[in-house]
């Protein structure tokens, strides 16, 4: 009888621990880890290098854009990273990767990517994109300040 009682309690402890761990995982990986600042991603630029790398970057970028629109920001980050591996000057991929990181509350990674995009936009004379990027950086800064006040 003692073994049966022990096994019952052990099972109960495992179930409670499993539910607790599951809740923590959901909070980190699931919707609980999202703080959507940026609903829309930046679309693919009209001009990419006319090469296999440019074509592959466009494919990866579009898949990242689609994942972003579906709010699957981790997958979007992976696709934008692959696009950047193909074409390292693809400012819009850095920009979107930064927005995705921000939506996952990873603000430091977000800022690094947005600053990379800013540098590339400057080199490519994309003033409108620089203005938008500045607004995105300001939104992240405001969120950080609000968190500090809490």
Residues composing the chain = 150
Cβ atoms < 10 Å from Cβ of 106: 18
DSSP 89: T
What pTM was estimated for this model as a whole? 0.76
Cβ(111)–Cβ(137) below 8 Å:
yes
Name, in order, each residue with C-beta under 8 angstroms of 96's C-beta and a sequence gap of 6 or more: 41, 42, 61, 64, 65, 68, 76, 80
Tokens of 118: 């800013």
Query: Tens digits of per-residue pLDDT, 8-48?
Result: 776 765 766 655 565 554 444 444 467 799 999 999 987 77
Q: How far apart are CA 90 and CA 83, in angstroms?
A: 8
* Residue 43 DSSP label: P
pLDDT tens, position by position, 48-90: 767 787 889 999 999 999 999 999 999 999 999 999 999 999 9
State the pLDDT confidence band at 7, using cuts at 50, 70 and 90. low
């Amino acid at each position: 009888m003692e073994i049966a009682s022990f096994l019952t309690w052990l099972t109960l402890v495992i179930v409670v621990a499993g539910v607790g761990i599951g809740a923590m995982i959901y909070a980190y990986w699931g919707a609980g880890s999202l703080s959507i600042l940026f609903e829309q991603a930046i679309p693919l630029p009209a001009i990419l290098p006319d090469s296999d790398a440019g074509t592959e970057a466009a494919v990866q970028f579009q898949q990242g854009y689609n994942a972003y629109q579906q709010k699957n920001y981790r997958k979007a980050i992976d696709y934008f990273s692959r696009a950047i591996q193909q074409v390292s000057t693809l400012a819009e991929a850095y920009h979107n990767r930064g927005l995705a990181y921000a939506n996952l509350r990873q603000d430091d990674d977000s800022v690094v990517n947005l600053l990379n995009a800013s540098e590339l936009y400057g080199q490519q004379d994309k003033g409108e994109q620089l203005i938008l990027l500045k607004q995105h950086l300001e939104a992240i800064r405001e969120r950080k300040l609000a968190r500090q006040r809490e």
